[in-house]
Amino acid sequence: MKVDLRLYAILDPERTRGRNLADLARAAATGGATLVQYRDKHAGTRDLVARARAIKAALAGTGVPLLVNDRVDVALAAGADGVHVGQDDMDAADARRLLGPQAIIGVTLKTQAHLGELATLPVDYGCIGGVFATGSKDNPDPPVGLAGLARLVDSARGTRPGLPVGAIAGIDATNASAVIGAGADGIAVISALFMREDVEAAARKLRGIVDGALAARGATDAGR
């Protein structure tokens, strides 16, 4: 499935100011999020399933898919559309086998080694991690920055032409345009969306920036 990564909204209960996850997901989708991920490293499985179901129900009719971070069991039980797997999570090939060909499976890419594996991974998108410094996740590695991002995106496109490639970590309204300018197909955001008072408005603004930057990049590419 061709995944739309333009505004990838990642819901982490630790970064929501304690608000209802389903309400926030709906607000993000209404504002223009194109993909939602539920990421929760602390809740027990029973709560994970209940929350994922509530988020999935809140997204009904929006056309916005829901992915679950890491947990294939939760995705299956809640009827989510797929999973996002990091380097410590289930192998993408195992996840594909359990979820089937229709599921969306995405992977985090942080290094050239990860990009080397990308050739054979049964995934629908890649997301370059660690672009800028972030408070949303402990990250021992230094940020790759815009130049690093551009290199990694180029490398991913060389390995898997046509694969959507997003970017994550520290992305907000101030740098989203530059991220798209560096070659990403979209931005994954956590705090820049779900720590804001008005999530729908924040989504609308970010989506506008991404769409504008994609259009500008398209014009530049066409003019070459």
Residues of each annotated binding site for Mg(2+): 70, 89
Nearest to a copy of itself of 88, 221 (CB atom): 88
Q: Is 58 helix (H, G, I), strand (E, B) or coil?
A: helix
Candidate list 57, 98, 173, 214; residue touching a copy of itself; CB under 8 A: 98
Instruction: At 54, list the tokens.
Output: 């509530």
Q: Does 211 bind a copy of itself (CB under 8 A)?
A: no
The type of residue at 65 is: P
Residue 123 touches a copy of itself, criterion: CB under 8 A? no
- Distance, in Å, from the CA atom of 217 to the CA atom of 154, rounded to the nearest integer, reads 15
Whole-angstrom CA distances from 161 to 16, 44, 125, 126, 140 are 35, 39, 11, 12, 30
Binding span for a copy of itself by CB under 8 A among 17-25, 38-46, 152-160, 214-222: 38-46
Pick the binder of a copy of itself from 54, 57, 77, 178 (CB under 8 A).
77
Which residue among 97, 112, 174, 212 contacts a copy of itself (CB under 8 A)? Answer: 97
Of residues 105, 145, 143, the one with CA closest to residue 127: 105
Question: Does 52 engage in binding with a copy of itself (CB under 8 A)?
Answer: no
Task: Report the run of H or E that residue 215 belongs to, with start and end.
Answer: helix 199-223
Among 2, 94, 135, 201, binds a copy of itself (CB under 8 A): 94
Task: Examine residue 107 and tell whether it contacts a copy of itself (CB under 8 A).
Answer: no
| Cα 17 to Cα 198: distance, rounded to the nearest angstrom | 12
Query: Which whole-number Å values give the CA distances from 179 to 1, 58, 172, 202, in the listed order?
Result: 24, 29, 10, 17
Q: Is 29 in the site for a copy of itself (CB under 8 A)?
A: no
> Which of residues 20, 30, 62, 87 is near a copy of itself by CB under 8 A?
87
**Closest to 49 in 3D by CA, of 29, 25, 75:** 75
Question: According to CB under 8 A, which one of 90, 103, 189, 199 is a site residue for a copy of itself?
Answer: 90
Residue 138 binds a copy of itself, judged by CB under 8 A:
no
Q: Which of 44, 140, 162, 223 binds a copy of itself (CB under 8 A)?
A: 44
Does the protein bind a copy of itself through residue 88 (CB under 8 A)?
yes
How far is residue 73's CA from residue 75's CA, in Å, rounded to a whole number?
Answer: 5
Binding-site ranges for a copy of itself (CB under 8 A)? 44-47, 49, 70-74, 76-77, 85, 87-91, 94, 97-98
